[in-house]
Amino acid sequence: MNILFVQDSSPCIRNIKYAEALQQRGVNVHLLHRDKTPDQGYGRGDEFYASLHRFNGRFRLLSRIRQLIITQRIDLIHYHNQPDILGAKIIKARLGVPVVFDCHDFMSFKHRLGYRERVAEKTCNELSCGVVYPSARYLQEAMQYYSFTPRRLVFGNYFPRTQILQPSDMLPKLSAADNKIHLVYEGRLAQKKSDHRYIVRQLEQFPADKYVVHIFPSNRKEFAEYRALPQVCMEQKRPYSELIRAMSVMDYGLVLFQDTIAAKLPAIRYAFGNKTYDYLCAGLPVLVQDCLDEVRDFVVDNNVGMKLSELETLPRSGQSEYRKMVEQVLQIRGQYSMEAQIQRLLDFYDLCRRECHA
């Protein structure tokens, strides 16, 4: 099978994880993208694609896609969204192959859309051959907006099996040396107070005499306000393959946003981002904000961490309650690798190819 991934931005980590797992199943994934390559953005990933094609302007872009379909013998286009406008153009162009729309971000959850954005979102969700959503609640909330295509798949931001850190490779806990609880937050940070990723106030709830919060930001900025917090230790941005092992010295992985904003946004409450799976990959229990419904229920139901409201009773790494959570993380995490889940995506591709007329 030959699949063309299209993303009107630098390829995201979800895109790269898909490609790695699909390559292992003998699928040729070709990538048409804007901006950085996977290697430039994440330090890995170019090797998972059968071919890489970059675009800047949109002049004759549909003609270029038609040519790729012919030369690479493409069976299906998998469009990774945000923005949606190019995806809608591809669907309307009827290029001769089915189009699967991957709804990483349902934009109506985030802000009021302009006319073109709204029409594009409607087209992608209603007229594509199939739509992929990152969580079940995300899908349920999104379905209130449009008359959706009948072919829908819930598929999480699972981690590559190759990145699962084995117990023998985990580093000694920092807490053993200073008797503090070491937390880690990895991912994007914001310095603008109106952004849901602005978490300065949330970090202040961790007293510096008991906690150290290590931050591995995915964006390279100074973050002076964060550095000024006595409980925060700003770490260097690392390639994904190094990040997982580096996080293993911590006690818990943090999943939190600015709570006054996150509690109101379906895009945050019902999402299941990469960081939760990355923490499991590193063998860490998860400490999750109570208002994040999807991640909170997963963590509590599977006993792989605790809610932030239970901070006062958080077990330390040497305690039996903590060891039980780690054992549970190690026991269940294998089923959430991309490789363990990828057959569901392949079956979905087959369904779309059988039932759709491009």
Residues 22 and 142 grouped into a single domain: yes
Q: How far is CA 200 from the centre of its chain?
A: 22
pLDDT tens for 225-249 read 999 999 999 998 887 778 999 999 9
CA–CA distance, 343 with 332 (Å, rounded to integer): 18
Q: What residue type is assigned to position 334 of the chain?
A: G
CA–CA distance, 213 with 75 (Å, rounded to integer): 47
End-to-end CA distance of the chain: 17
The chain-wide mean pLDDT, for the chain, equals: 93
pLDDT tens for 87-135 read 999 999 999 999 999 998 787 777 778 899 999 999 999 999 999 998 8
Residues 154 and 165 grouped into a single domain: no
Strand partners, 289: none
User: Can you give the CATH number for the domain in which 258 is found?
Assistant: 3.40.50.2000
Residues 219 and 171 grouped into a single domain: yes
Residues 210 and 292 grouped into a single domain: yes
Residues 219 and 255 grouped into a single domain: yes
Q: What residue type is assigned to position 35 of the chain?
A: D
Other CB atoms within 10 Å distance of the CB of residue 165: 19
Structural domain for 270, as ranges: 161-336
CA–CA distance, 289 with 274 (Å, rounded to integer): 15
Residues 6+ apart with CB under 8 A from 84: 107, 117, 120, 121, 123, 124
> Coil, strand, or helix at residue 123?
helix
CA–CA distance, 270 with 150 (Å, rounded to integer): 21
Residues 147 and 187 grouped into a single domain: no
Residue recorded with tokens 């229990």: 285
pLDDT tens for 59-82 read 899 999 999 999 999 999 999 988
Residues 264 and 174 grouped into a single domain: yes
Could you give the number of structural domains in the chain? Answer: 2
Residues 139 and 174 grouped into a single domain: no
Residue recorded with tokens 């004759």: 60
CA–CA distance, 289 with 11 (Å, rounded to integer): 28
Residues 108 and 197 grouped into a single domain: no
CA–CA distance, 49 with 46 (Å, rounded to integer): 6
Residues 6+ apart with CB under 8 A from 184: 213, 214, 215, 216, 247, 250, 252, 253, 254, 279, 284
Residues 6+ apart with CB under 8 A from 78: 3, 4, 5, 6, 18, 99, 100, 102
pLDDT tens for 317-334 read 989 999 999 999 999 999
Q: Is the dihedral of CA 295, 271, 110, 20 positive or negative?
A: positive
H-helix or E-strand spanning residue 154: strand 152-154
Residues 75 and 194 grouped into a single domain: no
For residue 203, CA distances in Å to 127, 236, 264 come to 43, 19, 20
Strand partners, 53: 32
CB 213 within 8 A of CB 232: yes
Q: Is the pLDDT of residue 358 over 60?
A: no
For the chain, give the percent of residues with pLDDT over 70: 99
Residues 6+ apart with CB under 8 A from 30: 2, 3, 4, 5, 49, 50, 51, 52, 53, 68, 72, 74
- Whole-angstrom Cα Rg for the chain: 21
Q: How confident is the model at residue 357 (pLDDT cuts 50, 70, 90)?
A: low
Residues 212 and 326 grouped into a single domain: yes
Other CB atoms within 10 Å distance of the CB of residue 28: 18
Residues 207 and 332 grouped into a single domain: yes
pLDDT tens for 37-65 read 999 988 889 999 999 999 988 789 999 99
